[in-house]
């Protein structure tokens, strides 16, 4: 299973309406985090679980869902997290 597939599987716990994951790892070749194998990703996720949450709370939900992936497979993660009623 690819890292992106593992991320999608883990994020399913947030009952997302949409998930877009972009692997930006190639742009960071030679970066210290890349040496350990961790990738750089951009995540855009829409979930009703984010309704009423502040940005930090949304990010915490994402980090918690990704759990162990954040320790090795993911070195850097840029998150855009919205509820379905947000543009």
Q: What is the pTM of this model?
A: 0.89
**Cα–Cα dist 18/30, whole Å:** 32
**Cα–Cα dist 58/38, whole Å:** 22
Question: For residue 1, what pLDDT band results from cuts at 50, 70 and 90?
Answer: confident
Question: pLDDT (tens digit, 9 = 90+) per residue, 22-78?
Answer: 999 877 666 555 566 678 999 999 999 999 999 999 999 999 999 999 988 998 999
- Given the candidates 3.40.50.300, 3.40.190.80, 3.30.300.90, 3.30.910.20, the CATH classification of the domain at 3-82 is 3.30.300.90
- pLDDT value, residue 25: 85
Spans of all domains in the chain: 3-82
- pLDDT value, residue 26: 79
- What is the spatial order of strands in the sheet that 39-46 belongs to? 18-23, 39-46, 74-82
Helix and strand numbers, DSSP H then E, in the chain: 3, 3
Q: For residues 66 and 11, is the Cβ–Cβ distance under 8 A?
A: yes
- pLDDT value, residue 15: 98
């Amino acid at each position: 299973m690819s890292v992106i597939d593992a991320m999608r599987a883990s994020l399913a716990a947030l009952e997302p309406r949409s998930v877009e994951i972009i692997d930006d790892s190639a742009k960071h070749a030679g970066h210290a985090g890349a040496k350990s194998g961790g990738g750089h990703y951009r995540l855009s996720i829409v979930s009703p679980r984010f309704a009423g949450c502040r940005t930090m709370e949304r990010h915490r939900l994402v980090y918690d869902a990704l759990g162990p992936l954040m320790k090795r497979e993911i070195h850097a993660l840029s998150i855009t997290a919205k509820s379905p009623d947000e543009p």
